[in-house]
Structure 1
Amino acid sequence: MATEVGEGWVEYHPIGILLAVEPWNFPIYQLTRVVAPAIAIGNPIVFKHASIFPQCAALFEDIVRQAGAPSGAVTNLYVSSTKIAGLLGDSRIQGVA
């Protein structure tokens, strides 16, 4: 689908590991809206939450496991924001939110 700003498409199958870089506001909701549809279709998520909310990131990861998601479906990365650029260049990362 062509638009004025570029080309986009919709995938209806898992494409691989997705990276979510999350802001500080609404720490659980922001993760839920990105992670739920991704793991529902089979894409594992690695996420870097706002550094002021490490407890929310750990809690969210635990909640997803308790809900029955397979091991590795969701992984919190306790990394600094400066490490994200390197992740964006990693060929294993297939999408970013």
Structure 2
Amino acid sequence: MPKLIERFTDVPERDRHVYQLGADGYELTAGGSQLRKLRQALSDHRVLESIPPQIWGKEPSEISLADWHKTLTTATAPERKELLKLVAAGKLSIKR
């Protein structure tokens, strides 16, 4: 998923929920950024247990409840499971 795009139609349909229109074009929401980071980590390391902790950072990432819902809608079942693990581990915080 690219971070910034000019046309919404350039985004695969299943990923469109995690984009928003910004000043320069469409950009990932905070939840979309987390999903992209998760997908990259899964691609590089295959399982999250082997992912170096510095990928997630020291501070928990924060996303809005609306972004969380959009992210879960976009994620595959295994990705949703891993996102829930991140929340349970305190690496991802949901703003209410």
TM-score, normalised with respect to structure 1: 0.29
**Which of 1 and 2 has greater Rg?**
1
More helix by share: 2
TM-score, normalised with respect to structure 2: 0.29
Q: Which has the higher contact order (CA 8 A, sep 6+)?
A: 1
